[in-house]
C-alpha cells in the first residue's frame, strides 16, 4: 500500500517545515505533495 502526504500553507510568509518533518515520519518523501498558495485561488500550476 502506498501512502501519500499533502502539506499546504496559504501565505508566502508561512513555512512548510514543521508539516514536512511530521509527514516524513510516515510517508516516503517522493509521495509528499506541497503547496504554497492560498486555497481561494483556482489559478494554480497544479490545476
pLDDT at residue number 37: 75
Residue 38 bears catalytic tag: no
pLDDT at residue number 47: 46
Q: What is the mean pLDDT of the chain?
A: 84
Instruction: Give the N- to C-terminal CA distance of the chain in Å, as an integer.
Output: 26
Set 10, 14, 15, 34: catalytic member: 10
What is the C-alpha to C-alpha distance for residues 1 and 38, in angstroms, rounded to an integer?
Answer: 31
Task: Report percent pLDDT > 70 for the chain.
Answer: 79
Q: What confidence tier does 42 reach under pLDDT thresholds 50, 70, 90? A: low
pLDDT at residue number 43: 65
What is the C-alpha to C-alpha distance for residues 40 and 38, in angstroms, rounded to an integer?
Answer: 5
pLDDT digits (tens, 9 = 90+) for 4-19: 999 989 888 889 999 9
Amino acid at each position: 500500500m502506498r501512502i501519500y502526504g499533502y502539506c499546504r500553507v496559504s501565505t508566502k510568509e508561512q513555512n512548510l517545515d514543521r508539516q514536512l518533518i511530521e509527514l516524513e515520519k510516515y510517508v516516503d518523501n517522493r509521495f509528499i505533495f506541497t503547496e504554497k498558495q492560498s486555497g481561494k485561488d483556482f489559478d494554480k500550476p497544479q490545476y
